[in-house]
Structure 1
Amino acid sequence: MRFIDVFAGCGGLSLGLLKAGFQGVAAIEKNPMAFETLRHNLIDGLRYKFDWPDWLPKKAMSCEQLLTDFSPYLISLAGTIDVMVGGPPCQGFSLAGKRNSADPRNKMAEQYLELVKLVKPRFLIIENVTGFNSKFNEVVQGDADKYYNQSYAEYISNELSGIGYSVSRGKLNCAMFGVPQNRYRYFIICSLLDDGVNLFERLVGYGEEFKSIKKLARGKHVSVCDAIADLETAGKSLRESNDSPVKGFREIVYQLPDIVSPYLKLMHDGHVGSPNSLRLPNHKTSTVIQFIKIRQASEPGKSLSKETRDRLGLKKHAITVLSKNQPSPTITTLPDDVIHYSEPRILTARETARIQSFPDWFEFLGKYTTGGSSRKLECPRYTQIGNAVPPLVSEAIGMMLKAHASSKEIGVEALKI
């Protein structure tokens, strides 16, 4: 089964589908930093390679540029693509910030729809924040009028139904599929064949079976400790970190633990040696003291209350000390949203990648962080990881779709339009 990944980021959706046995064809991502990580690992990787078309440059580009410059070629793909996946940028929908129905980034979902009409894939997967299905309440002028009093998920679902797709959708917690993180996301899953099967409900019901296949315990969530205990600094030697141009940072000398949790076995995935992105933060002494105070004042696993934040003089809206034996809260693009469960520091990029279920062989490239005006233009490692769909969830989707397609004994040729 062949797929295209749109708004691909660093490749979380692609990685999961590749691990499920799919063949990548193309991936569209406009940010050069994120695209380079994707290209390095998956498009031209050592483990996976895309069947990339000759007419499409292997470079970062927007969906708008793809439609403008390559529409005739995209039409030629019609009937040859089994799955199109994509998580259009979600800032206009996020309940964590100011929701704005006129946010220009919302238009990217419309570009996704135009691409669907050209390529006509057999299945569609759209992932977004849960606010994607919340109605906008404000009256907006111009083109955004059509979103008034309905959610963007409703708008897109109606549009997809209108061009012949059977649509199922809903919210799920990624922890259901073995991801050590309570990450709630909204999924729209569509099929060109209306066979009466609700694919979203089938996905939700597949969680326990998927965990069994992955040799994870049924009936309980994977904990943060299961995911990152081997990356603690206690008892480890440190060395200079050299996987980015910025000097003066240190990292642990990684050693495989004597006891490896089932989740950790999945993350090692045959990788030998030290994973990249282990760089430890260089916190000021005052920051370490502040983190110690936060740990003393907090209940692990729960976001610090406003009263406590005010008392400690914190300006952040959300900060959580991890609970060692529970899943993490949602990993975001801001590394200082979460404090380690036993050490007064933020997590390393590799620790956040583990919590997002990226295997250790997957290498993140580019800067670790960025700031100021560059935040709107750059996509450093922490941002790449925080924006990604957890590969374990994508792999579960891929395995569910393959099983569904096999049960119907249908092929791409039968669905050509």
Structure 2
Amino acid sequence: MATINFYLDKADKKGFSPIHLRINCGGKQIKISTGEKIMSKDFDKDKQLAKPSYEKSMELNHYLNYLKERADELFDNPSKKVYTNAEVKDILNGYISNFKEDNNVSIVKEQLALYGKPVTFIDLFAGAGGFSEGFLQAELNNKFYDFIVANDINENCELTHEVRYNHQLGLDAKFLCQDITEPDFLDNLLEKIDGKQVDVVCGGPPCQSFSLAGKRKKFDKKDDLFAHYLEVIKILQPKYFVMENVKGILTKEKGKIKEEILKEINSIVDIKEVPKLASFVKSLKKSKKNDEFILDCLVKRVNMEQFGDEKSEQAREEYIKYVESKFRQLTPKIVDYKTSKTDQRISTIRHGFNMLIRNKQWETLKRDIIKEKDFCNIDNDYFVNAFTEFLHELDSSEIIKKIEEAFNNLHVAKSYKAECDHIISALKIYTLNFDDSLEYIYKYCNKKQESELNKIIDDIRLYKIESPFVANASNYGVPQNRERVLFIGCRKDQKFISEVPRTVEEKDKVTVFEALYDLDFVGNDEEAHHYELVDISKQYNGTAKKMKSLLKTRTIDGKVNSKEGKSFADWSREGRLNGRFKNATAPFYVRNYEALRNGEKVFDILHNHKTSKQNENVLKRLDIILQEGDYKSAQCKLDECGLSSNKRNYNVLKPEKQSPTVMTIPDDYIHYNTPRALTVREMARLQSFDDSFVFQGKRSTGGNNRKTEVPQYTLVGNAVPPLMARAVAMEILKNIK
């Protein structure tokens, strides 16, 4: 057994004594300087800690306890090798130097341009920061990225961001922890941006947010996230924007969702060109006297595109009032006075206009109801249908349907039917996106006018996009077959980008073994705080030669380069930020914001490398599945041994291949060499995060907490792989003006 304590060395001229760590074991002694000093009056020799009266007692005592724990581990863990005195010193000095480094840094208030001009970007739905990480790795011809703002709704996302980008890298990147659907989100985002030009916006609205207008049946918090993402694009008008989503979005609702997304992107207009289109529509009235009302409505609809959020609401209200005034003029012609005051059909039309005029208020009410519905977990119960029906009825398109039904049931005389139809058409134009409203304009054009309109539309569309493309992360040096859809919007004054070329050929893709082999030194219910040497020859005996052949040297983007490259594991350990952040400090972990405020930081050499505690039966089950090669093949043997499980699937990692898509639940995967689940760090490797990127907060969560908490495993599983993001960022740097 080792005896571990702290003692004070001789005081300096100012009365401060260095604190030393002393270890006695087997008649030998190791002394290590902690790098900290304290006056003897502030140090409790019995408790081996700073007294509460000392100003920084909480932070210092956390550090001393942390060092003692790490020293204890080196001597008291029988499953590990016996360390020499020199190895003990090296390991502990690693922790100590990280702590000293952190205490000598201050957060930079402005990122200095090292060379050239930075390209600015913001990251929406940022999560852990996969997009952010990849963009900061990208450099080309004196161009690099300046990180301005990230956004997400969860505090642990913000904590992970702040520790990585503010404390560790010293950036002044802001974080907006707010729901994008909140009424003041845009104002708060613009305040964080602080007048800077934004060149690129990236982000991935969750796939649940895509639905066809008026056809939503579920109504949850994620319903309108895509629309709000595009609202940010409309306001900021970046040179490029990147939207990432799951591959299934291409076939959702038989491809209609994809087409709807492209229409919405095509509906973002160059505000300067709007008056030209409005003038063109006005000119159509000369030859279309009978359609003046509809053409006036189209002019008003076109002009709405010029306005920001507040003015747009005002313009929409004025639009409905204009259509309502047409109905008021028509009412005495189609019904008598008594009917106009008492008839249910007329009341439906009149009240429908009132509801449309108050659209903003209804939308606020809907958002609040949806929040409460989600908070109370209303789904698959007796309550859900009532909520769904009510929310569905508040949709503008549903209100207009009832107005149309009321008009049809009035059985208006033929001489006034056209005017009624015009009112219905005007209301439908109100609900259309800009791209669809153009179809109405084409109806009133001859061939010559069509040609003129085509030219105006080409000029007015702010972004060029033909179609999304499917990107497989493994094509960009990520050891994972993760297919994602990327929509890249290119502003009309920028070069068009239709896809991101692969950086790695099929035969050279990074394998699971390359990514994880050097981390394979932990067993069940163990946590590693520093790297251990992995001897492939000992671990794999007869197959060592085959396993070693899987290791390749590569450039940062995954290309095989035997002369100048590094292994994937080395890139992960040394980092991919290209030495750009020379003042970066050592990574650290904190459990929450309170710990960060109190200075309770953990300065391990290796972070997030802890295995789950699994019972004997689970370990036997995993071992059988591992030996059989996959879950399906193992079913009979599991049944025989009484180890069958209700779990839908286990993915056995194949060392010579890429992993399947990394999700948020570690128990879904079985390590290729040991019957256990993956650690956070191993999943992060499969996503291509550097080891210096520390995931903060809780490791995992369960049950209903999954709705609100974003622990480490969720941060990793939901992230965009940084190397794929880097490839996107590099393609933009190649083309951006």
Aligned CA distance change for structure 1 residues 161 and 345 (closer, same or farther; 3 Å): same
Aligned CA distance change for structure 1 residues 308 and 173 (closer, same or farther; 3 Å): farther
Matches within 5 A, 1:15-54: 15-20=133-138, 21-42=144-165, 44-47=166-169, 49-52=171-174
Residue among 661, 682, 696 paired with 1:330: 661
> Could you tell me which residue of structure 2 aligns to residue 381 of structure 1?
712
Offset of 1:32 from its aligned partner? Answer: 0.7
1:177 corresponds to which letter in structure 2? Y
Offset of 1:335 from its aligned partner? Answer: 0.8
> Could you tell me which residue of structure 2 aligns to residue 158 of structure 1?
263
> Could you tell me which residue of structure 2 aligns to residue 117 of structure 1?
234
Matches within 5 A, 1:18-417: 18-20=136-138, 21-42=144-165, 44-47=166-169, 49-52=171-174, 58=175, 60-65=177-182, 67-68=184-185, 70=187, 73=190, 80-91=197-208, 102-136=219-253, 150-151=256-257, 153-163=258-268, 164-167=462-465, 168-193=467-492, 197=496, 199-201=497-499, 203=500, 205=501, 207-208=502-503, 211=504, 219-233=507-521, 249-251=526-528, 253-255=530-532, 262-270=567-575, 274-299=605-630, 304=632, 313-405=644-736, 410=737
Q: Secondary structure at the match of 1:250?
A: coil
Query: Is contact 2:179–2:185 with CA below 8 Å preserved after alignment?
Result: no
Query: Is contact 1:297–1:308 with CA below 8 Å preserved after alignment?
Result: no
Q: Secondary structure at the match of 1:126?
A: strand
Offset of 1:71 from its aligned partner? Answer: 6.2
Q: Determine which structure has the larger helix proportion and give its number.
A: 2
Tell me which moved more, 370-379 or 225-234. Answer: 225-234
Q: Secondary structure at the match of 2:498?
A: helix
1:15 corresponds to which letter in structure 2? E
Offset of 1:76 from its aligned partner? Answer: 8.0
Query: Paired residues, what number?
Result: 359
The TM-score normalised by the length of structure 2 is: 0.45
2:259 corresponds to which letter in structure 1? E
Aligned CA distance change for structure 1 residues 371 and 263 (closer, same or farther; 3 Å): same
Query: Is contact 2:475–2:506 with CA below 8 Å preserved after alignment?
Result: no
Distance 1:195 1:309 in 2: 60
Q: Deviations over 1:121-152 (max 9, x none)?
A: 11000001111222326xxxxxxxxxxx712x
Tell me which moved more, 100-109 or 304-313. Answer: 304-313
Where structure 1 has 5 or more consecutive residues not aligned to the other structure, the ranges are 53-57, 94-98, 138-148, 212-216, 239-247, 411-417
Distance 1:372 1:23 in 2: 39
Q: Secondary structure at the match of 1:26?
A: strand
Offset of 1:317 from its aligned partner? Answer: 2.6
Offset of 1:269 from its aligned partner? Answer: 2.6
Q: Secondary structure at the match of 1:251?
A: coil
Offset of 1:41 from its aligned partner? Answer: 0.5
Q: Secondary structure at the match of 2:265?
A: helix
Q: Percent of aligned positions with the same letter in both sequences?
A: 32
Q: Deviations over 1:297-335 (max 9, x none)?
A: 334xxx747976995633233321000111111100011
Query: Is contact 2:651–2:668 with CA below 8 Å preserved after alignment?
Result: yes
Offset of 1:17 from its aligned partner? Answer: 0.5
Query: Is contact 1:304–1:320 with CA below 8 Å preserved after alignment?
Result: no
Offset of 1:391 from its aligned partner? Answer: 0.4
> Could you tell me which residue of structure 2 aligns to residue 244 of structure 1?
none
Distance 1:107 1:279 in 2: 37
Distance 2:158 2:620 in 1: 38
Query: Is contact 2:474–2:658 with CA below 8 Å preserved after alignment?
Result: yes
Aligned CA distance change for structure 1 residues 306 and 65 (closer, same or farther; 3 Å): farther
Aligned CA distance change for structure 1 residues 304 and 174 (closer, same or farther; 3 Å): farther
CA-atom RMSD, angstroms?
Answer: 3.2
Query: Is contact 2:652–2:669 with CA below 8 Å preserved after alignment?
Result: yes
Query: Is contact 1:79–1:120 with CA below 8 Å preserved after alignment?
Result: no
Aligned CA distance change for structure 1 residues 61 and 297 (closer, same or farther; 3 Å): same
Query: Is contact 2:480–2:687 with CA below 8 Å preserved after alignment?
Result: yes
Query: Is contact 1:67–1:115 with CA below 8 Å preserved after alignment?
Result: no
Q: Secondary structure at the match of 1:363?
A: coil
Distance 1:76 1:380 in 2: 28
Instruction: Tell which has more relative contact order, 1 or 2 (C-alpha 8 A, sep 6+).
Output: 1
> Could you tell me which residue of structure 2 aligns to residue 245 of structure 1?
none
Where structure 2 has 5 or more consecutive residues not aligned to the other structure, the ranges are 1-118, 139-143, 211-215, 269-461, 536-547, 553-566, 576-585, 588-603
Distance 1:157 1:309 in 2: 50
Q: Deviations over 1:144-199 (max 9, x none)?
A: xxxxx712x332221111212111411121000000000011110111126673x2
Offset of 1:26 from its aligned partner? Answer: 0.5
Distance 1:330 1:72 in 2: 32
> Could you tell me which residue of structure 2 aligns to residue 13 of structure 1?
131
